[in-house]
């Protein structure tokens, strides 16, 4: 009944015009003394015909209404035909299909992001368990250790593992922030040496324990960047350099006055892996993928560098080492 009243209300203008016309013609016929039956007969025929047309349209409209109601649970998968009968209805149908296609694309993107996040955090849990387990073993061994040297090295070793945990936590936070719609970039002029020293300081224990040399001379260079985000990129690159350099050195220097280079003497990267090292979750071969390596560090570095208007590239040869180059992009003279 509710639908019937709504349907009838659509034709209120038609009914007003119809009854106004009927009254007008009735008065006209009366004034001209036309026989009543000559008026009633065609009027009844017109009314019956109109009611039949209205009933057919009502039945058709009711079916369409039910069909469209059922489609609410199927959006955005619309069928080919929505029974559009007018030009405007066709326009609305086309617009609806465009909107549904956009919704489907957004849902696909969200599903992909959610799947990536699930995969990443599954690996992240395994990653962060490694240093925690190492710290537990160190504390257990410390109780039974008779060597004064082992006891003296314990704080340094614990600090190294704690730094690894901090790195994994920072990586998770960075992953979340980059996926959000807003970020907290603060772009201004910074001393490059201050950022480098701050990043290297956290790896001091690892350099010592691995017996690796750090080759670095102050450059006296100022760059325009966000210190926090740039530090994250630098720490990720240093972490990879230390992780995959069993012996030798890590060098940090400025090239051509606008590019920071981090060069190691590690195991290098296979040529077939090199074009894909910045892809999300790509770990590669030749020893660069660990058991629970997430393959997301360099992916985050590239995204951050793009957001900071910096460039990042990698040059590497197996068993010879790797050089990561970070182009500053933003010049100090461009700071307003």
Sequence-separated (6 or more) residues with CB below 8 Å from residue 63: none
Q: Among 230, 219, 279, which Cα is nearest to 253's? A: 219
User: 255-274: string of b/e by CB count within 10 Å (b at 16+)?
Assistant: eeeebbbbbbbbbbbeeebb
pLDDT for 241: 92
The radius of gyration computed from the CA coordinates of the chain, to the nearest angstrom, equals: 37
Residue 263 has pLDDT above 80, yes or no: yes
- Per the document, the length of the chain is 336
267 vs 247: CA distance, rounded Å: 10
Under a CB-based contact definition with an 8 Å cutoff, are residues 265 and 247 in contact?
A: yes
Residue 302: its H or E element: helix 297-307
3-state secondary structure of 268: coil
pLDDT: which is higher, 147 or 166: 166
pLDDT band at 10 (very low <50, low <70, confident <90, very high): confident
3-state secondary structure of 182: coil
Report cis status (omega within 30 of 0) of the bond before 283. Answer: no
**Which range is most confident: 52-66, 161-175, 307-321?**
307-321
3-state secondary structure of 108: helix
Walk across the sheet containing 311-317 and list its strands.
Answer: 213-216, 249-255, 259-264, 321-327, 311-317
pLDDT band at 334 (very low <50, low <70, confident <90, very high): very low
- Average pLDDT (175-197) is 83
68 vs 73: CA distance, rounded Å: 10
3-state secondary structure of 253: strand
pLDDT digits (tens, 9 = 90+) for 133-147: 888 887 877 666 556
29 vs 231: CA distance, rounded Å: 95
Range from 112-126, 154-168, 270-284, 287-301 carrying the lowest mean pLDDT: 287-301
pLDDT for 76: 57
% of the chain with per-residue pLDDT over 70: 82
- Average pLDDT (142-168) is 73
270 vs 257: CA distance, rounded Å: 29
- How far CA 210 is from CA of 132, 135, 204, 247, 275, in Å, comes to 19, 17, 10, 7, 29
- Average pLDDT (315-323) is 92
**Which range is most confident: 106-115, 255-264, 280-289?**
255-264
pLDDT digits (tens, 9 = 90+) for 221-233: 999 999 999 999 9
46 vs 40: CA distance, rounded Å: 10
Residue 331 has pLDDT above 60, yes or no: no
pLDDT band at 332 (very low <50, low <70, confident <90, very high): very low
Token pair 């009944």 in the structure block, residue? 1
pLDDT for 147: 60
Under a CB-based contact definition with an 8 Å cutoff, are residues 320 and 286 in contact?
A: no
What does the block give as tokens for 263? 């060069």
pLDDT: which is higher, 33 or 264: 264
At residue 249, φ and ψ (nearest 5 deg) are -150, 165
Token pair 């890590």 in the structure block, residue? 250
- Average pLDDT (291-318) is 84
């Amino acid at each position: 009944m509710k639908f019937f009243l709504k349907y009838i209300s659509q034709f209120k203008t038609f009914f007003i015009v119809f009854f106004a016309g009927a009254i007008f013609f009735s008065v006209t016929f009366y004034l001209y003394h036309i026989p009543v039956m000559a008026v009633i007969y065609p009027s009844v025929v017109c009314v019956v015909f109109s009611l039949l047309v209205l009933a057919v349209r009502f039945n058709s409209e009711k079916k369409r209404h039910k069909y469209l109601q059922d489609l609410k649970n199927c959006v955005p998968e619309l069928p080919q035909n929505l029974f559009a009968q007018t030009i405007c209805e066709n326009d609305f149908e086309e617009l609806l299909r465009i909107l549904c296609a956009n919704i489907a694309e957004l849902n696909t993107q969200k599903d992909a992001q959610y799947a990536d996040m699930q995969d990443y955090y599954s690996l992240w849990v395994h990653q962060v368990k490694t240093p925690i387990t190492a710290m537990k073993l160190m504390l257990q061994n410390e109780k039974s250790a008779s060597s004064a040297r082992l006891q003296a090295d314990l704080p340094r070793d614990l600090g190294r593992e704690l730094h690894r945990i901090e790195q994994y936590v920072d990586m998770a936070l960075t992953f979340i922030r980059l996926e959000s719609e807003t970020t907290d970039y603060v772009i201004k002029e910074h001393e490059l040496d201050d950022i480098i020293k701050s990043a290297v300081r956290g790896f001091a224990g690892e350099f010592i324990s691995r017996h690796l040399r750090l080759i670095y001379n102050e450059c006296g260079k100022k760059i325009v960047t966000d210190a926090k985000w740039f530090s994250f990129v630098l720490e990720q690159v240093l972490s990879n350099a230390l992780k995959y350099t069993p012996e030798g050195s890590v060098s940090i220097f400025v090239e051509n006055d606008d590019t920071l280079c981090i060069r190691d003497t590690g195991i290098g990267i296979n040529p077939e892996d090199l074009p894909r090292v910045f892809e999300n979750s790509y770990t590669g071969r030749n020893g660069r993928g660990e058991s629970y390596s997430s393959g997301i560090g360099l992916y985050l570095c590239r995204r951050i560098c793009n957001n900071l208007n910096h460039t990042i590239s990698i040059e590497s040869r197996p068993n010879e080492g790797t050089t990561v180059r970070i182009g500053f992009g933003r010049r100090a003279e461009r700071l307003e």
